Structures are given as structure tokens and as C-alpha cells.
Amino acid sequence: QLCHDFASESRQLLRPKALKAIAEAKEKGQIYVVSASIDNWVAPFFQNVLVLGTQIGVRNGRLTGKFLTPNCYGEEKVNRVKAVLKQPREHYYIVAFGDSRGDKELLTYADEAHFKPFRA
């Protein structure tokens, strides 16, 4: 609930150009937000978008402090995308946007890559 509350109170953190690109891309196909951030924190910002992020342990409603998955950074971002693709890679045209070093491998994996396209 804290993550949902934070997202609803913090929409200003999202870049308007990024939100526009996501809205336009939704008309063309499936959207994934692939982030090294904790998925519980990121997912409430995006409706009807699959968030592939770092997963953390929760026991009895409390964070355990342990990752359930490898940190979703670098090559791990590519691994997460590959894991959700239902057909062989050649059946997809992947467009990726990134703004950090952790996006390099995903941008290389994509058919079309955009680095830092949302900065003002």
C-alpha cells in the first residue's frame, strides 16, 4: 500500500516525454518497463504495463532485506525480457529507451535504441 500511495502522490517524478512515448507505444504493442529499481515501487506508477524489476522478499507484510532475483541491471535486463517473450526473438521488433549505464545491454539487444531521449 505504501508503494501505491507513494506513486499516486509522486506522479511529478515521471518525465512527461517518457509518458507520451509509452502511451504511443501501447498502441503498437506490448510495453515493458525494465528497471533495476524494486518492482513493487515502480509498478504502481504504470497502469497496464508489465514492470520487470528487481524483486525483494516480503514476509508477513515486511521486507526481508533480501533480493528474490538478481538485480535487474545490465545483462539481467536482457534476461528478463527474454524470459517474457513467448516466441523466438526474431518474431519481435524491440524498441528500447534508456538513460543509464545499466541500460547498455538492453539497448544493444533492441532493434531500435534510444539513449537519454527524455531529458529536457
Q: Is 66 left (phi over 0), alpha (psi -120 to 50) or beta?
A: beta
Confidence (pLDDT) at 93? 94
Q: How far apart are CA 110 and CA 45, in angstroms?
A: 24
Contact of 30 with 15, CB cutoff 8 Å:
no
pLDDT of res. 119:
56
Quote the pLDDT of residue 117.
Answer: 60
Low-confidence ranges of the chain (pLDDT < 50): none
pLDDT of residue 113: 93
Q: How far apart are CA 18 and CA 119, in angstroms?
A: 9
List residues bridging with 34 in a β-sheet.
52
Provide the grid cell at 90: 526474431
pLDDT for position 62: 87
Q: What does pTM read for this prediction?
A: 0.87
> What pLDDT, on a 0 to 100 scale, did the predictor assign at position 110?
97
| 63: number of Cβ within 10 Å | 11
Please state, in angstroms and rounded to a whole number, the distance separating the CA atoms of residues 120 and 117: 9
